[in-house]
Amino acid sequence: MAQHQICVLGTGDMGGAVAQALSVRTKHPVSVRGSRSGSASATALSARLGLREATDAEITRSDMVFVVVPASAIPDIAPLLLHYRGIVVSVCVSETVGCDGEKSAAEQLAEVLPAARVVNAFTSIWSTVVRNPGTVGKTTAFVCSDHGDAKTVVMELAEELGFAPIDGGKLSYALYTEMLGMFAAHLASDCGYGQTISFRAFQAK
């Protein structure tokens, strides 16, 4: 696939996993960034992974920005991407997604970033599996977006990372992939399956 300049916005466990996977398993230039310039967490992550810490200008010049923050932090990072017109990959999940009619984090992100092409992906996959997809079959990466071209790019990237991408439809269906992520968390912590529990979609024959 074509080479893309990628910035990972978010320095928590999942943000670190995404940045590591992209830098190790693809040839795309990757940078990282916290919610503010020069944050201690971003400095530590960039040093640990050997990646550049992105400036505000570099974020806006990126072809693709992975937003990997809690849904509650979306208003805090929105100003950074207010005029961004590239692909925004939403890997945000809220513990209350779907409760009392709450929209998915991806839809919330699309509302505050009207110029961007928002794609929901990787929200049903544990950070453990993002770092190491394993060797027994391929975990499914459900990808949802209202922008077909952007969805295709992210599906190709998911395959490059070692996952099996599935077109999940419009961005409104991100609600279900995010809820699937919360179900995975329940299976891992409450049912004893651990953080390598994964979902694989296939056609039964």
pLDDT for residue 81? 94
Rounded distance between C-alpha atoms, residue 101 and residue 118, angstroms: 21
Number of domains within the chain: 1
Q: How many residues does the chain have?
A: 205
| 30 domain residue, yes or no | yes
| 153 domain residue, yes or no | yes
Sheet containing strand 6-9, edge to edge, reads 52-53, 30-33, 6-9, 64-67, 87-90, 117-120, 140-145, 164-167
- Residue 134, Ramachandran bin (φ over 0: left; ψ between -120 and 50: alpha; else beta): left
Of 164, 88, 154, the residue nearest 125 (C-alpha):
164
End-to-end CA distance of the chain: 31
Rounded distance between C-alpha atoms, residue 42 and residue 154, angstroms: 24
| 42 domain residue, yes or no | yes
Q: What is the per-residue pLDDT across 163-200, written as a single tens digit (0 to 9) for each?
A: 999 999 999 999 999 999 999 999 999 999 999 999 99
Is residue 91 predicted with pLDDT exceeding 90? yes
| 203 domain residue, yes or no | no
Of 76, 82, 191, 181, the residue nearest 125 (C-alpha):
181
pLDDT for residue 48? 93
Q: What is the per-residue pLDDT across 56-86, written as a single tens digit (0 to 9) for each?
A: 999 999 999 999 999 999 999 999 998 899 9
| 135 domain residue, yes or no | yes
Rounded distance between C-alpha atoms, residue 68 and residue 105, angstroms: 11
| 194 domain residue, yes or no | no
Q: What is the per-residue pLDDT across 94-119, written as a single tens digit (0 to 9) for each?
A: 887 777 778 999 999 999 999 999 99
- pTM of structure: 0.94
**The domain spanning residue 56 has which CATH number?**
3.40.50.720
Tokens of 177: 């992939």
| 197 domain residue, yes or no | no
